[in-house]
Copies of this chain bind each other. A is one copy, B any other.
Amino acid sequence: MLHRLAVLILLSSACASLPVPALGRPQDRSAAESPKVAVQADGAVGVPAQTVPVSTFLSPEAKEYLAQHLKDMQDPEILKQDAGVPRFMKRYLARDYALFPVERKDEKVGGVHAYVYTPKAGVSARNKDRVLINLHGGGFSGCWPGCAELESIPVAALGKIEVVSIDYRESPEYKFPAASEDVASVYRELLKSHKSQDIGIYGCSAGGMQTAMSVAWFQTHSLPAPGAIGIFCASAGGVLGGDALYTAVPLGEARLALPGAPGAAPPLSYFSGTDPTDPLVSPINSPETLAKFPPTLIITGTRGFELSSALYTHEQLVKLGVEAELHVWEGLFHGFFYNADVPESRDAFNVIVKFFDRHLGG
């Protein structure tokens, strides 16, 4: 008669013989020696201090990248932006220019400033009538053009597709719904020469949030849904919360979430004056809005602070019958694919390219 502890021991012992590198086991074999996990009545878990190595599943390049990233996150100097490029991102940009030959035109599309990327090798025949809109990350307060470049260049080159990255209006000068208006202006312009099902929209972090907000915005502004969307490093409402606060934040950002209860922080100035229950601000709150989402690709990582809300978004879309595809990179953090030299980043770009290829019309 085996109890589950023994089952766990046996199961994990089985796995000790399986080739997972640097395998550990979950059970506490020497209970008297190890620190304990305490469980409170409400299910809260007191977890003792731990030293957590980089994940054994990562490529060698990703392990090195993660180690560097964690050190960067603790260095205020390297986090600063110069002309819209965070310093730690400069080396990633230089590599993108070397790896992915693209043309970049500085234009206005529907009256909104944008960079229009096309691959130097040419747009593929399949993609001649298609276009992707990129909405860059940066907290609605920066990272143009740095994040725009890192999100657009590899996709344009690897996807052999045109990418329009929108320099949407942001804080501190502008407030919601400025970015939603700008995306709609560009979208309307593109609709003059493209079918809606041939247009995809995607972005990372703030850009992922804005992608979801734009889909909601189109619903209430007489615009058709795009053919497919990508919500990366983000969710359809709320980036933080859940288990990720305690797992991904320390392991991916090298800091603790604010200890104790969630408090009120002064609202981001971009969102000041907004109603948090408004589906145009936070589509996750409206099943009616979510149910009309087009096919949606969600990308995150076990160390992305958005992990929990991204997973919750995926669950809700699935429940509502939306075709939602989830990819979670083990051991990797918020926006990891900004470094294109890492194999896992290449895998992510391949997933993005294939997703849009499969779901856009034509």
**Contact surface of A with B, Cβ cutoff 8 Å:** 1-30, 33-37, 39-57, 63-64, 66-68, 70-71, 73-74, 76-77, 79-82, 86, 88, 138-143, 171, 205-206, 237-247, 249-251, 253-259, 261-271, 274, 276-277, 281-282, 284-285, 302-303, 305, 307-309, 311-312, 314-315, 318-319, 325-331, 344, 347, 350-351
Q: What's the Cα separation between A284 and B26 when bound, in Å?
A: 21
- Report yes or no: B315 in contact with A347, Cβ–Cβ below 8 A: yes
Enumerate chain B residues within 8 angstroms of A42, measured Cβ to Cβ: 53-54, 67
Asked if A243 and B302 make an inter-chain contact with CB atoms under 8 angstroms apart, the answer reads yes
Q: Which residues of B contact A49 (CB under 8 A)?
A: 46-49
Question: Given A24-B240, A256-B34, A276-B18 in contact, is the A140-B29 Cβ separation under 8 Å?
Answer: no
Closest beta carbon of chain B to A301's beta carbon, Å:
9
A232 to B22, CA, bound (A): 23
Minimal beta-carbon separation of A108 from chain B (angstroms): 25
Among A48, A250, A276, A331: residue with most chain B CB under 10 A: A250
CB pair A241 B20 closer than 8 Å: yes
Q: List 18 A-B contacts (CB under 8 A).
A: A2-B141, A3-B79, A3-B80, A10-B139, A10-B270, A14-B239, A15-B241, A18-B237, A18-B281, A28-B258, A29-B265, A44-B52, A47-B251, A56-B242, A243-B247, A302-B308, A315-B327, A315-B330
Q: Which are the 8 A-B pairs with shortest beta-carbon distances?
A: A43-B67, A20-B238, A14-B268, A3-B79, A4-B79, A17-B267, A247-B247, A11-B139
What is the copy number of this chain in the assembly?
A: 2
B285 touches A311 (CB 8 A): no
* Chain B residues positioned under 8 Å from A141 (CB to CB): 2, 6-7, 10
Specify which of A18, A43, A307 lies most central, judged by the most chain B CB atoms within 10 Å of its CB: A18
Q: Is the CB of B143 within 8 A of A7?
A: yes
Query: Is B251 within 8 A of A45, CB to CB?
Result: yes
Complex Cα distance A74/B249, Å? 27
Cα separation A82 to B328 with both chains bound (whole Å): 38
Additional A-B contacts beyond A17-B268, A17-B276 (17; CB < 8 A): A2-B81, A4-B86, A12-B239, A18-B271, A19-B276, A19-B282, A22-B261, A24-B245, A41-B67, A42-B67, A46-B50, A48-B256, A50-B246, A247-B251, A308-B331, A311-B329, A326-B326
